[in-house]
Amino acid sequence: MKAVVLISGRGSNMESLLKAGLPVEFACVISNRPDAKGLEIAAGLCVPTAVVDHKRYHGREAFDAALAAEIDRHAPDLVILAGFMRVLTEGFVRRYEGRLINIHPALLPAFPGLHTHARALAAGVRVHGCTVHFVTPEVDVGPIIVQAAVPVLPDDDEASLSARVLEQEHRIFPMAVAWFAEGRLRVRADATVLVDGASGAMAALISPPPDEA
């Protein structure tokens, strides 16, 4: 399976994918920012890179058309948003529907959009986390593939909570991409995702634990 990864910054999730030993050919890493550090990381891992600088285009439609042209040069089976900080047009999303996935640093549908960790702390939630989902035209509401939860600790600030969530992002993103590559994901009529062969057994995360409540 061929995949293209889109980034805007440091690319830590991209790096976790490239180093995960997945059954995937990473055809290109594309950034909308020429100074994105992730481009250096990808090149160091012998993955081709490209830049489609959004500042060179007038309007979202023109940028998305140029981005799609670069993506299509590589004929990917999957397009991965790994910290790609651009809101995509409906036309772009429809072009790659069913093969466009994103990772979001919150337990969707809670805290869509930006500043998720600060908002989680302000809301006083006990549990926070991350979500890998299929992308749909409406931001951060697509069918959920996998989530991971972490406790919110009493002394957490935005940085400490972000670091704890990022660790889980690096676990579940490669998992989701592997499931896609293996043909194990099915989106049902109710827009929920079934993972063929996945175990239903899991341990509950209770925060704070019952013996500390």
Supply the residues annotated as catalytic.
Answer: 104
- H or E element that contains 5: strand 2-7
Whole-number Å distance between alpha carbons of 208 and 28:
43
Residue 206: strand, helix, or coil? coil
Question: What is the β-pairing status of strands 25-31 and 49-51?
Answer: parallel
E-only strand ranges, 43-126:
49-51, 78-81, 100-104
Q: How far apart are CA 11 and CA 100, in angstroms?
A: 17
Distance CA(7)–CA(85), nearest Å, equals: 7
The whole-angstrom separation of Cα 212 and Cα 178 is 38
By the 8 A CB rule, do 7 and 31 touch?
Answer: yes
**Unique residue bearing structure tokens 């805007």:** 8
Instruction: Please give the backbone phi and psi of residue 42, each rounded to the nearest 5 degrees, phi first.
Output: -60, -45
